[in-house]
Chains A and B, each alone.
Chain A
């Protein structure tokens, strides 16, 4: 995208006030979205993001500047603007840039920009009509399509030069069921690191039906009871519990400064022995994967927890300096507008040996959370919360009537110890994860698990 000699010049400019590391990140992102609701394709939008960010490190200090002006002068200017934050003199020169060679692990069959927008819109219309025609109680549907083709280039003063191209496609379907007085919603948002072949790999019709089915089921559900009880959380997006309750607290962003409940606990038991958890940025064509992370390190499969013992953190370069540990290929950012930091990629609890039937059968009374909504966590205290989109009561080892409006709360350090059963049906679910370096695509995942006690917040 930019000549090597200019990159080298920019890095040297950035280092001239005493920085010990400089990096330039260049991004071009082509984006297409289409949104349909109320029976009409309401907006179709295309765009081109184009920008660069320069990062300078000096010890633990991080300086970042970005611009949309990618001319030589524009890049040198931000390098200079950033360097003004330091008052020293130059003590290192940028090394010669050598291009990182790797094999693309995520082949793309159909690049989105080669597909007519009308074909994309017809996929939106199909999903819309499947959900809308589910039954007469579906009052409203909205479908959002998004594809983006992001090319990144990363060069740093240690001589690294790496490029990656990440093509993602996603469809988000929301259905609203109404009886005139009450409204309930159902949602599904499948996504992949794929181009238009996404539609050959993912059964959108099934997801559209599920979104509608959830809305209708919840319309006829009773209010969820409140209290402390065993909770069975189903596979796939249910993994949001691990993502919120534990994943964020294992990111170096919160571990490095000692703010996380898991700081300094490597090698210690932090979860029940049935829990093994992994962050794997290498899964082929998965939503949270990429060949390299946003500081140019190849992504990895990292074991976070093994049989309950804390084995590792997710680490970026800067926090790695504080922790005196190596980066793990987890440094991510939404765009050139953010300095990268440690983030999750595809994070999941590994499968255990129980069948889902066994887990339900051995639960006398409790809540069965079939589909989870989103949640959040305070990484300092580990306090988390998340919503349940579709829930049922469990009575005498059987799934009983549906209940709505349930929220699960707890502390990450406690819930991990309270997981007493792990199923054998691992699946992943897609989400956008927001944190200090912006919003990034991330997979959550797990097989069905049981937490022996959790606070369930309902309206009854």
Chain B
């Protein structure tokens, strides 16, 4: 059935069934992915996906249902299930849909309509360059280009009718370096809504350098080390603990930031933004998945906690206005609080300069096991890490087989310096995260 007709009929039937309000969320997307291996196309994907979800208020309670089919019978499926599900939910705030607001236009160049041949050529180019880069590069285990375009639509019975298009381009390369028995991997990626901004040569260099420079890595003695957390590792740590800024976590006691608004919770060098208007970022958007307008906000300003992130429900609970942070990970999921583009604002000291200033420090280039070794509720983390040792202002050796442990709340206070090398990392969960490299006074390292 045609979409507008489907929605119209769904709302008509829903009213008959006694729903007071209804809202549909619709996604229609196309994506393309190519992987090359040994200068041949290895994997080639072309996909089309659409789905619709209904959330509906029945007797003051909210029920959800979704479908990937758009037939007459699916209208009945959505209504019947949303109603049965609503009856089982419990709430202390009456659910409510948004009637609309003032929306700011996104400034961005969405440019992902790239000729398939060019995308294949670009992937071939990356693989070729990586193999030529150095004799220590043994193989390229992943080399891929992906592009996607999507349309997001939200319509409700309170008069809201919004539509926004988005696009994303991804380039990713992972290489293996070998020196006798020693094997190391390295990877690099770029995620952007403007494909023309991808610097393939640079990705190759980053991935190859990382693999080659890690050859000969060893563990280091256990102890306390000053740590330079490289920008990508810092972004993944921020992503892992970002839920502590969600009003939902705060209200449920899953965040230790309860009652800490307008107090100092971090080093004064730290400012963290949630910025839905970051240029070329795929998570940028002018409204959230409840149709509320988004805006740029300081979550932490000079170390002081300024706001939590809210969707409509959590805002109502705290008697404030939604900050435009209600998102769904897909049309299959309920609305949850999530950042858009959350990042630590950069400082002025350069990465290379900062290294020169250290007598002894550990650069951490990657953290692993974040989904299990980090606990957003307590802030504790103990994570496998890799990096380099810095002695007398110089990188002296690559490091592996260590863990770093600490507590995120303490780390926020222990940040001595925020560097100037900001970059947005791979999107994680619902939002995107970014950080410059940061210098942490001290972390516990477990090694040999």
Contacts and interface: CB of A to CB of B under 8 A. Distances in A.
Q: Do A and B bind each other?
A: yes
Interface of A: 31, 34-35, 37-51, 60-69, 78, 81-82, 85, 116-118, 121, 139-140, 176, 178, 181-185, 224, 226-228, 257-259, 261, 337, 339, 373-376, 378, 380-381, 383-387, 404-407, 409-411, 455-460
B5 interface: no
B382 A37 contact: no
Which of B67, B400, B446 gathers most chain A CB within 10 Å? Answer: B446
B63 interface: yes
A35 B446 CA distance: 38
Nearest to A62: B43
Q: Which of A35, A67, A176, A459 has the largest number of chain B CB atoms within 10 A?
A: A459
Nearest to B366: A378
Contacts of B44: 61-64, 82, 85
A82 B46 contact: yes
A117 B47 CA distance: 33
Contact of B85 (A82, A117, A373, A386): A117
Interface stretch (B248-256, B275-283, B344-352, B388-396): B248-256
B369 A184 contact: no
Contact of A339 (B45, B184, B380): B45
B106 interface: no
Interface stretch (B86-94, B293-301, B412-420, B423-431): B86-94
Contact of A409 (B40, B42, B333, B384): B384
Given A50-B68, A140-B253, A140-B254, 7 more contacts: A46-B65, A46-B85, A48-B68, A62-B44, A63-B45, A85-B44, A140-B252
Contacts of A48: 66-69, 74, 77
B60 interface: no
Contact of A37 (B86, B252, B375, B377): B252
A120 to B, nearest CB: 8
Contact of A178 (B40, B87, B253, B333): B253
A63 B384 CA distance: 36
Interface of B: 37, 40-51, 53, 62-69, 74, 77, 81-82, 84-92, 139, 141, 176, 183-185, 219, 222, 251-254, 256, 332-334, 368-369, 371-373, 375, 377-378, 380, 382-384, 400-407, 444-448
A181 B407 CA distance: 13
A182 B379 CA distance: 9
- 3 closest Cβ pairs, A-B complex: A457-B403, A385-B384, A226-B446
Contact of B68 (A40, A43, A51): A51
Nearest to A244: B369
Contacts of A383: 368, 384, 400-401
Contacts of B447: 455
A65 B67 contact: no
A458 B401 contact: no
B43 A64 contact: yes
Contact of A117 (B88, B371, B378, B444): B88
B176 A380 contact: yes
A249 B18 CA distance: 55
Contacts of A406: 382
Nearest to A70: B69
7 contacts: A41-B89, A51-B49, A62-B42, A63-B44, A68-B68, A185-B377, A259-B176
Contact of B369 (A63, A116, A118, A387): A387
